[in-house]
């Protein structure tokens, strides 16, 4: 796919990604935005995602995002759903539905493609790597586009650690860092650095974690009261599930935080034996083989019981 060919006649272009945007969502959305602004200078281009975490303020154009999902355009000529199917676009879903041409670019195995044009590559490291792919003329890349896409790639590969890192990923990253931005600082500031508050909750979640199935599973939870006590947002909890997964002997890690009286947002991570995309999909969620998520109803214990039954079947 050459993305310019898909949009060259559009006067209005919308770009969105999933709710609770992570690094890959922000990187792919902003990388595409910065690129389209260059190649379609006369088009009206709007980005609509929820407010990204403060660590992404280093990305050019981030302050131009319509985080309120308000637009004077009702029917975009082209609308992009990135890093998700349309069901997790949140308030942007209505713009996607109304658009004359819908384009879906994603790397989630659970996404079967929801656009008129679909570019779904489950083996790709990240949607940001896919945006790099669809920029056919690489001479149009620049430092700011490269930075956005690089952020997306490092976040979804755990800084090139996870098994989704392919030779193509490293080749893309090699070209991106040739634009000269300070990549060690970018990795540190957007990926590793935690606020004192984030570290405190991480510590607490580790302290309160429980291992079961002979140490092959681990679970931890943060309830609403704790979130309120620390004045924490969902993005403050990122990374907890990866730390749980690092526990020796663990095949599958579960982390959840409470979103309502009887509702939890669940994150699942696997070391490869358990296909957590399958587990999440069973309960209406999705994701990748080694990293998936789902929103579930019930008490903490109900949810752990339901998940364990599915995990045990695979183990
Ligand atoms: P996380 O646990 O970091 O929120 O998400 C892990 C992976 O699963 C990400 O690729 C994310 O996009 C996907 N994911 C998380 N929650 C859901 C969900 O509720 N539905 C679907 N389809 N995918 C999810
Ligand atoms: Mn992604």
Query: Which atom of ligand 1 is nearest the CA belonging to 292?
Result: 8
> Counting atoms of ligand 1 from 1, which one is nearest the CA of 284?
20
This prediction has a pTM of: 0.92
Q: Is 283 exposed, middle or buried (0-12, 13-18, 19+ CB in 10 A)?
A: middle
- Please give the number of the atom of ligand 1 that sits closest to the Cα of 22: 3
DSSP 127-164: HHHHHHHH---GGG--HHHHHHHHHHHHHHHTTTTSTT
Encode pLDDT of 192-221 as tens digits.
Answer: 999 999 999 999 999 999 999 999 999 999
Ligand 1 close to Cβ of residue 296 (< 6 A): no
Question: Ligand 1 within 6 A of 270 CB?
Answer: no
Q: Note the pLDDT of residue 110.
A: 87
The mean pLDDT value of the chain amounts to: 97
Element (H, E) at 104: strand 101-106
Main-chain dihedrals φ then ψ at residue 248, nearest 5 degrees:
-55, 130
* Chain centroid to CA 69: 19
Distance, CA 220 to ligand 2 centroid (Å)?
23
Pocket test for ligand 1, best of 156, 293, 295, 297 (most atoms within 8 A of CB): 293
Structure tokens at 36: 């389209």
Q: Name which of 283, 162, 270, 268 is nearest 216 in CA terms.
A: 270
> With bands split at pLDDT 50, 70 and 90, how would you rate the model's confidence at 297?
very high
Encode pLDDT of 82-141 as tens digits. Answer: 999 999 999 999 999 999 999 999 999 889 999 999 999 999 999 999 999 999 999 999
Q: Which pLDDT does position 108 carry in this prediction?
A: 94
CA of 56 from ligand 1 middle (Å) equals 20
- Pick the residue whose CA is nearest to atom 14 on ligand 1: 293
pLDDT, one tens digit per residue, over 150-185 is: 999 999 999 999 999 999 999 999 999 999 999 999
Q: Tell how far the Cα of 22 is from the centroid of ligand 1, in angstroms.
A: 10
Per-residue pLDDT at 177 = 98
Is the confidence at residue 292, as pLDDT, over 90?
A: yes
**From the CB of 294, is ligand 1 less than 6 Å away?**
yes
Mutate to test the pocket of ligand 1, among 292, 294, 307 (most ligand atoms within 8 A of CB): 292
Given the structure tokens 């302290």, which residue do they identify? Answer: 207
pLDDT tens per residue across span 31-89: 999 999 999 999 999 999 999 999 999 999 999 999 999 999 999 999 999 999 999 99
pLDDT of residue 143: 98
CB atoms within 10 A of CB 249: 11
| Ligand (nearest to CA of 82) | 2
Residue for token pair 């490092």 = 154
Report, in this order, helix, strand and coil percent for the chain, each rounded to 5.
45, 20, 35
Question: Are 153 and 23 spatial neighbours (Cβ–Cβ below 8 Å)?
Answer: no
Q: What is the DSSP letter of 87?
A: G
């Amino acid at each position: 796919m050459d993305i310019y060919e898909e949009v060259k006649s559009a006067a209005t272009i919308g770009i969105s990604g999933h709710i609770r945007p992570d690094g890959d969502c922000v990187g792919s959305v902003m990388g595409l935005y910065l690129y389209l602004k260059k190649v379609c200078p006369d088009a009206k281009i709007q980005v609509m995602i929820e407010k990204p975490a403060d660590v992404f303020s280093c990305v050019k154009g981030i302050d131009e995002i319509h985080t309120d999902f308000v637009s004077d355009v009702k029917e975009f000529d082209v609308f992009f759903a990135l890093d998700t199917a349309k069901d997790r676009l949140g308030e942007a879903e209505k713009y996607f539905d109304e658009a004359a041409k819908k384009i879906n670019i994603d790397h989630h195995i659970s996404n079967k493609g929801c656009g008129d044009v679909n570019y779904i590559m489950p083996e790709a490291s990240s949607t940001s790597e896919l945006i790099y792919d669809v920029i056919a003329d690489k001479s149009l890349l620049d430092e700011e586009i490269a930075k956005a896409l690089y952020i997306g790639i490092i976040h979804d590969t755990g800084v090139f650690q996870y098994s989704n890192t392919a030779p193509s990923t490293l080749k893309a990253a090699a070209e991106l860092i040739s634009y000269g931005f300070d990549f060690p600082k970018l990795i540190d500031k957007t990926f590793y650095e935690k606020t004192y508050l984030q570290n405190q909750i991480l510590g607490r979640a580790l302290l309160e974690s429980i291992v079961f199935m002979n140490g092959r599973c681990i679970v931890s939870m943060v309830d609403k009261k704790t979130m309120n006590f620390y004045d924490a947002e969902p993005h403050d909890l990122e990374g907890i599930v990866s730390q749980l997964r690092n526990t020796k002997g663990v095949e599958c890690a579960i982390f959840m935080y409470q979103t309502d009286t009887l509702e939890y947002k669940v994150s699942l991570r696997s070391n490869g034996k358990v296909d957590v995309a399958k587990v999440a999909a069973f309960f209406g969620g999705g994701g990748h083989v080694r990293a998936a998520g789902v929103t579930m109803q019930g008490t903490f214990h109900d949810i752990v019981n339901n998940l364990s039954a599915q995990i045990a079947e695979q183990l």
